[in-house]
Amino acid sequence: MSRADSRPSRRAFVRATGAVAATGLAAGCETPAARPGRPPSAPPGTGVTPTGRHQAGITLPQPAQSNLLAVVADLDEAAAPGPLLADLGNLVRTLTAGADPRLLGLPPGDLTVTIGVGPRLVRTAGAALPGAADLPGYSREEMARQARGGDLLLQICAGDALLLPVVASALLAQAGDRVRERWRQSGQRGPVTTVGHGVSAPRNLLGFVDGIVGPHTTAERRRHLWLSGPAPVAGGTIAVVRRMEIDLPRFAALSVADQEAALGRRRATAAPLSGGTAASDPDLGAKTPDGRYLVPADSHVRRANPRAVGVGLMLRRSYSIDQPAPGLLFISFQNDLRTFTRTLAHMEGSDALLRYTTTTAGATFLVLPGFDEQLPLGARLFA
């Protein structure tokens, strides 16, 4: 794929740099909030707008905040999704504006809350809608019943980790006995590496830069990320969330060359093993003089490569985790669940990285289209 025509549009760039300036997360960028003695998050009024065509917390802010808490809950059989989602959307607006007493005076800064509904709820609105299909089971899963699926996703992200449980508590209190929590997971991201062409991504706890390949331009996002229809879901997307625990001691015992062979990129520079820079696409055809692939046959970037799989791009926005074990809360957004399912099917059995993982929680959600004061969250789906 040529990168020359894949630069973000000026609008996307202005939006992204605006968000970076607002959060003070850009390298060397000191906002008043970043000075010693000030709260760690940006002051009220400079946060990420929660309303609009798409929910925040997917492409914005850029780069993503360093802390995440995902809460997965079930909806009580007797509770109507429409009023619940409208309540939650209203609360997201007041929380992100710093105008809700349940924030206990904490500045919201770059807080985002992204809300999705699980397949069971989507099916009540239409069996053929995007988001109505359950995630299939895969090998290397050890999931308690409680940790598979769920009706409601609350993805809460912020630069200030202290906000996360406070915001989760406010949202769950608002939902009251209409929801029952299933599982929750917190995660962190380190500082980002600038990859080039407007793309930056953090390292995961394997030490590799994670999140390079994805729909980063406006055109790619329109094509691969956002749902264009039908009307009740237009502007939404499909999320996959999987807690992947990693056998870190076993991976760390490999030589750097073997770690790189498992991933298919250099650990220090993120360049593909076929050469170039971090921004280069892996050249899957490139071989050594003795006929071996430079990007090994079982390497992760080859097995997951969208062209090799024959699917579109997924936006990966994963967070590293430490509890209950070290690993990755893998999060991807795409406008077709098959982008994920076909990729994982292609990885299964032959992806060298996958051999170090055990997946202990997983679910898919329809991330609802954006909302505002006039159009409550979920209103087009659950009238």
Verify binding: residue 198, ligand HEM, rule CB under 6 A. Answer: no
Which has the closest alpha carbon to 302: 353, 244, 247?
353
Question: Closest CB to ligand HEM among 174 and 357?
Answer: 357
The correct pick among 62, 237, 335, 357 for binding ligand HEM (CB under 6 A) is: 357
Stretch that binds ligand HEM, among 96-104, 115-123, 202-210, 248-256 (CB under 6 A): 202-210
Stretch that binds ligand HEM, among 17-25, 177-185, 201-209, 366-374 (CB under 6 A): 201-209
Stretch that binds ligand HEM, among 66-74, 106-114, 175-183, 303-311 (CB under 6 A): 303-311
Q: Kindly report the CA angle at 157 between 119 and 122, in degrees rounded to 5? A: 10
Q: Kindly report the CA angle at 156 between 150 and 159, in degrees rounded to 5? A: 155
8 A C-beta contact, residue 121 and residue 215: no
Question: Closest CB to ligand HEM among 118 and 215?
Answer: 215
Stretch that binds ligand HEM, among 17-25, 40-48, 113-121, 200-208 (CB under 6 A): 200-208
Write out the binding residues for ligand HEM, residues 307-336 only, by CB under 6 A: 314, 328, 330
Give me the 233-262 binding string for ligand HEM, x by CB under 6 A, dash otherwise: -----------x-x----------------
CA atoms within 13 A on the CB side of 341: 13
Q: Which amino acid is at 14?
A: V
Q: How far apart are CA 49 and CA 132, in angstroms?
A: 28
Q: Which residues, other chains included, contact 312 with Cβ-Cβ below 8 Å and sequence gap of 6+?
A: 215, 223, 224, 306, 334, 335, 336, 339
Verify binding: residue 135, ligand HEM, rule CB under 6 A. Answer: no
DSSP state of 246: E
Inter-CA distances, 205 with 85, 183, 260, Å: 35, 22, 14
Verify binding: residue 273, ligand HEM, rule CB under 6 A. Answer: no
Verify binding: residue 340, ligand HEM, rule CB under 6 A. Answer: yes
Verify binding: residue 206, ligand HEM, rule CB under 6 A. Answer: yes
CB of 112 to ligand HEM, least distance (A): 21
How many other C-beta atoms lie within 10 A of the C-beta of residue 150?
A: 29
The correct pick among 70, 170, 213, 227 for binding ligand HEM (CB under 6 A) is: 213
The per-residue b/e assignment along 93-103, b for 16 or more CB within 10 angstroms, e otherwise, is: bbbbebebeeb
CB of 303 to ligand HEM, least distance (A): 8
Question: Closest CB to ligand HEM among 39 and 312?
Answer: 312
CB of 287 to ligand HEM, least distance (A): 18
- Residue found under tokens 């430079």: 294
8 A C-beta contact, residue 273 and residue 261: yes
Size of the site for ligand HEM (CB under 6 A): 27
The correct pick among 24, 109, 198, 211 for binding ligand HEM (CB under 6 A) is: 211
How many other C-beta atoms lie within 10 A of the C-beta of residue 35?
A: 9
Residues contributing to the site for ligand HEM (CB under 6 A): 204, 206, 208-213, 244, 246, 263, 265, 282, 300-301, 304-306, 314, 328, 330, 340, 343-344, 347, 353, 357
